[in-house]
Structure 1
Amino acid sequence: MKLDQRGDIAIAEIVFYVPILFLSIVLSVRHGATRKAGWILFAVLSIARIIGGITHVLSEQNPSNVTLQVIYTIVESAGLSPLLLATLGFLSTVAQYSLDNTPYMGVRTFRILHLLGTAAVILAVIGGVNMSNAKNEHDLNSAATIRHIGAILFVVLYAFIVAVTAFCWLNREQVLKYRRKLLFTIIASLPFLLVRVAYSVLGAFAPSSFGFDTEGHLIPVQSNSALRHFSSSTGDWAIYLVMSVLMECIVVLIYTSAGLRLPLKQDLVDYQRAETHIPMMSQEDDSYKYAQPYSYTQPYSQDPTQRV
């Protein structure tokens, strides 16, 4: 069976995220594999998108397979969270050794924001699953409410990310050299993240494509709401491609290219040297190897006639 436009997009996502998965593992080894560092979350996103692409293609080949549709719904709902949580991890890295001792920029703040992001994705997943398994109109409405709450939490999390980014920017002179460049990378990604968050919110409030009659039978529902175009499963494929898929890919490319270029561990070396009053010198700077020694001049003797 020939794939439709969304099936073609699913194939493209698989092709894109397979190398990103391996690259994210390399970056996790290089910069740190903890969730706090942020890089490992790109591996999570890659796995979600690969699984989502495969299940979407299979569901088009087997439209009656409800399990495939449920799996696709789950991983589609979970895609935004790794991007936002990774950005939080990068902001935590930016604040290291400089701003992390200031009020509201410590470990507790980032832990609370991570919990907020985790709660958002859990609600989004639960809402999507419940909507797929709804047996009546009440179940459908309850699932929609859960999705709405999850989407609102994503907006709140994005707002906090912007606020923390603004604080780091206003105090950028205190931020270490390569972490300052990472901050510029975060700022560059925020507009694309905003579009992605907006699509997620609009999709969460989009009307369902099915409902139930008075006897509880599942029936298709046609809606004239403008929000129907933003449905992640049945909406306009072009809007989905631009506002969701491309925005995610751009953010991933911005961050991974920065991860390959920035020697973030050098900041720690420079910081430790500064703390111990050792002159700071970049690992790339080997000019000291070619420095000439001080010339030796024989001192004057006390007898002026014996000066050399």
Structure 2
Amino acid sequence: MGTITYRDGIAILQLVVFPFIFGAAIFIWSRAGLRVGSKIWRYPVTLSLIRIAGSIASLLSINHNSKDVEIAIAVCELIGLAPLLLTYVGVLRQIDVNQVVPVKWINIVSIVGIIGLIIGIAGVSTASDDGGSYQPSNTVKASMAIFIALFVVYHLLAAFMYLQMGHLKAFQKKLFLAIILSTPFILVRVVYAAIGDFTTIERFSIISTNGSPTIYLVMDVLEEIVAMAITMFLGMSAVLEPDFVRLTPAQLDSEPKTEVA
């Protein structure tokens, strides 16, 4: 029987926490409407499933390590940043009931994020692993550059939206607060990933055997958990507000004709 390592303990932590985040995201999704919510709240659901799958793969590697298991672990680790960031693009959709920001803008941002995800998945398969020292490919670096841009853009959209709106409903205030309170944690998470992809400092490598599990825990795992816990808590509170507005498919696919009362 294999030995449970520090990193395996981190995987266990994720396996314990992310099912709760998954449940909260499903609850918010159902309250927002199953059809419309799919464009808004599917991302935290996706992130939770990725983290659960990655944790299971990591624990399987204790006694049944193989190349396929290693690839599964690497993919789950390296693609989680996309749904994490797209969660907040979705939050902006939920806030903007009167379409202060043109729908096409947010659609473009979402598409760019998904492109970054696809590029990242492709990049994992071409990244080299020299004696356990993970070397990100140019494709992975391009994906990371897209994620950095996504982080900046959704904050700019949030600031623009906030300045353009007049009176905020209670649920909108809570969702804006979710973005604000999560920002420091997401920033640290993005910085950690960027250092790992754009430098040769192996302590910051996510999947290298020479990476520091403590840095990984503090700058990656805990940052994600705290950010998502804040967002899910405020998201559940927002959808339970009496003034919560359930968007319609037309509001997500076309320019506004009249304001939502």
What TM-score does the superposition give when structure 2 sets the normalisation length?
0.84
Q: Residue 93 of structure 1 aligns with which residue?
A: 94
Aligned residue among 205, 216, 222 for 2:198: 205
Residue correspondence of structure 1 range 1-308 to structure 2 within 5 A = 1-33=2-34, 34-37=37-40, 39-63=41-65, 65-97=66-98, 100=99, 102=100, 105-131=101-127, 144-207=137-200, 227-234=201-208, 235-262=211-238, 263=240, 266-268=243-245
Q: Distance in 2 between matches of 1:201 and 1:120?
A: 14
Q: Distance in 1 between matches of 2:146 and 2:241?
A: 31
Report the alpha carbon displacement of residue 171 of structure 1 after superposing the two structures with TM. 3.1
- Classify 1:181/1:173 alpha carbon distance in 2 versus 1 (closer, same or farther; 3 Å): farther
- Classify 1:93/1:108 alpha carbon distance in 2 versus 1 (closer, same or farther; 3 Å): same
- Classify 1:145/1:265 alpha carbon distance in 2 versus 1 (closer, same or farther; 3 Å): farther
Q: Residue 283 of structure 1 aligns with which residue?
A: none
One-letter amino acid matched to 1:268: V
One-letter amino acid matched to 1:266: D
Q: CA RMSD in A?
A: 2.4
Of 259-268 and 177-186, the range deviating more from structure 2:
259-268
User: Counterpart of 2:166 in 1: which secondary structure?
Assistant: helix
One-letter amino acid matched to 1:15: V
Q: Distance in 2 between matches of 1:55 and 1:254?
A: 27
Greater relative contact order, per chain length (Cα 8 Å cut-off, separation 6+): 2
Q: What 5-or-longer segments of structure 2 have no aligned partner?
A: 247-257
Q: Distance in 2 between matches of 1:151 and 1:56?
A: 23
- Classify 1:31/1:264 alpha carbon distance in 2 versus 1 (closer, same or farther; 3 Å): farther
Q: What 5-or-longer segments of structure 1 have no aligned partner?
A: 135-139, 208-226, 270-274, 281-308
User: Counterpart of 1:62 in 2: which secondary structure?
Assistant: coil
% same residue: 28
Q: Distance in 1 between matches of 2:125 and 2:61?
A: 16
User: Counterpart of 1:60 in 2: which secondary structure?
Assistant: coil
User: Counterpart of 1:243 in 2: which secondary structure?
Assistant: helix
Q: Is the 8 A contact 1:192 1:251 kept in 2?
A: yes
What TM-score does the superposition give when structure 1 sets the normalisation length?
0.72
- Classify 1:68/1:30 alpha carbon distance in 2 versus 1 (closer, same or farther; 3 Å): same
- Classify 1:172/1:183 alpha carbon distance in 2 versus 1 (closer, same or farther; 3 Å): farther
